[in-house]
Structure 1
Amino acid sequence: MASFVGSSVSFKASPHALLNSSFTNKNFAVKPSIAFWRTNVPKMPSLRVVCAAAKPETVEKVIKIVKSQLALKDDIAVSGETKFTELGADSLDTVEIVMQLEEEFEISVNEDSAQTIATIHDAAELIDELNKAKAA
């Protein structure tokens, strides 16, 4: 469905109905055309989504540390989207993983940040952010 809003008129109709019929009122008649669609409809501003992405090497290193801490077999598939809870980690395991990450990456994770880590990717993003802040 297409929506058009004028200063005094508002209507909704399918694009097919708009192009194949005319809308009449006592004061005006509108027969939309393709040119009408292109020139008179204001363009919507484009949205850019910026997503912080962790470095692939950081994600791989975190995966190795998590697998080691949880004693997971090599054949278990773990990706950036994998949640620690899906791997059977409880809160104590998560604390131990964070401690191992701090040691391995030579960073310090505050308690509030540590509680926001739910996935491998979350941990890798936090590590990259802390390393970036440390380098600045």
Structure 2
Amino acid sequence: MASSTGSSMSVKCCPQRCLRSSLIYNNYALKSSVSFVRTNPRAPLRFRVSCAANTETVNKVSAIVRKQLALTEDREVTGETKFSELGADSLDTVEIVMKLEEEFCVTVEEESAQNITTIKEAADLIDSLKK
């Protein structure tokens, strides 16, 4: 059992090359891929979890964040981009979450909203709430 500290994320896994698993993030079950990878043959194995958010959702969340923060088209925004890297403060993050709720017709609990730091985390949460 692997778990991160300071958040409510946990993953059940066993040390295999790749394992499909269930990821629990703020009490929402998300599809995930758990893998153990090496960056080069001599490097130790690294534990990596990637959630399977719908690409369409990630793109839509990216577009909403880009619009809310008035970012130019040349500014790169990916799923791994943190809101703080884009210059968003806590008020901007609240406004982004409100816009996501409106756009996707979902309700995000305050506790969950406070833990969203990247585009992908927001998309994963949206996908889990839409089910």
TM-score range, shorter chain: 0.5 to 0.7
> Structure 1 residues 45 and 129, CA, compared in 2 at 3 Å: closer, same or farther?
closer
> In 1, Cα distance between the equivalents of 2:89 and 2:77?
17
Counterpart position of 1:76: 75
Counterpart position of 1:59: 58
> In 2, Cα distance between the equivalents of 1:116 and 1:55?
20
Using the size of structure 1 for normalisation, the TM-score is 0.62
Letter in 1 for 2:75: I
Residue-by-residue CA offset, 1:73-119 (whole Å, 9 max, x unaligned):
01100000000000000000000000000000000000011011000
Letter in 1 for 2:79: G
Matched length: 89
Identity of paired residues, percent?
Answer: 62
Specify every segment of 5 or more residues in structure 1 that has no aligned partner in the other structure, as ranges. 1-43
Counterpart position of 1:131: 130
Counterpart position of 1:97: 96
Bigger strand fraction: 2
Shift of 1:53: 1.1
Specify every segment of 5 or more residues in structure 2 that has no aligned partner in the other structure, as ranges. 1-13, 22-31, 33-50
> Structure 1 residues 45 and 100, CA, compared in 2 at 3 Å: closer, same or farther?
closer
Shift of 1:49: 5.0
Letter in 1 for 2:90: S
> In 2, Cα distance between the equivalents of 1:96 and 1:126?
16
Shift of 1:45: 6.7
Greater Cα radius of gyration, structure 1 or 2: 1
Alignment of 1:23-62 (within 5 A): 46=16, 48-50=19-21, 51=32, 52-62=51-61
> In 2, Cα distance between the equivalents of 1:67 and 1:115?
19
Counterpart position of 2:109: 110
Bigger helix fraction: 1
CA RMSD of aligned residues (A): 1.6
